[in-house]
Structure formats: C-alpha cells, structure tokens
Amino acid sequence: EERRHVGYYVGFHPGRNIAVVAFRGTTYLMNWIQDLHYKKIDSNYTECENQAALHPVQESDRNPGVKQAGRQKRRQCRVHSGFYNDWKSVRTDVLTAVKKVLADHPSARVWVTGHSLGGALAALSALDLQVSLRLQETVG
C-alpha cells in the first residue's frame, strides 16, 4: 500500500458534545508532490449520479460563448485526484473512528476542519461522512 502521510485526528469534545475530525496541512515532501496531482477524476458518490439524472449539463453551459446543438452531458462530481486519493487512503479509519464516537455519543454533532491540504481533505470527508453515515448535518 502506498504511504500517503495524511495526518488526522478524530476525537470528542465533551463540553460541546461534538465529534471532531481534523486534518493536518501539507508538511512532508510527499504531501507537496500529492498536492501537484491536480488532474480531476470522477468521485464515486451515488448522490452525484442521482443529481446527474435530475440536472443534466448542457454543452452550451460549459462554453457559454459558443452556440452548440444543445447536447446533454451527465453532471459528474469531479475532484482533485491528489486530494481524493489522500482521503481514500484514510477513509476507512476515519469512518470507523467517527462511528465509534457517535456510538458512544449518539446526540453529538460532527465538526470537520483542516488547514491547507487538510482543508481539502476536510471538505471531501464532510461530504463522505454526511452521505455514508446519513448525518443530518456536518459542520466543515
């Protein structure tokens, strides 16, 4: 397995009844290299497929100055490949840790945060946590 050097913390703040997920920013040379893998790739969220069926993108939406035949394209959730692969490398561990916190504290809200690279990972994880765990709300 490729080592991606993703730093994260999952914990619980009892005074505020909050599950906290925090991601570290870019620190290691490997993080900088991964940051440069900017090619956008399709994510695998079923919600994207549901939205694609409801709201197809017109080709003319992509190139507003160019008149085209109105061909429809499927709307996709495309993400930065480096950030997405970083998230996928820790996803199982983060989801397991958050599930444990929520099992111990079922009324807790989930807060997700990060800086730099961690901010990108926080955004991806907040979406994934909300969809995968069927949370009513995540705060990112």
pLDDT in tens, 4-16: 678 899 999 999 9
Is 140 in contact with 122 (CB distance < 8 Å)? yes
Helix ranges (H only) for 36-137 are 46-54, 59-62, 81-104, 117-132
Global pTM reads 0.71
* DSSP H or E stretch at residue 73: strand 72-73
pLDDT in tens, 87-117: 889 999 999 999 999 999 999 999 999 998 8
Report residue 17 as tokens: 């009844």
The two most distant CA atoms of the chain are separated, in Å, by 58
Report residue 132 as tokens: 């995968």
Residue 77: pLDDT band (50, 70, 90) is confident
How many CB atoms lie under 10 A from the CB of residue 57? 14
Percent of the chain past pLDDT 70, that is, above it, reads: 59
Does position 22 have pLDDT exceeding 50, yes or no?
yes
Report residue 28 as tokens: 């290691």
pLDDT at 29: 66
Does position 2 have pLDDT exceeding 50, yes or no?
no
Strand partners, 123: none
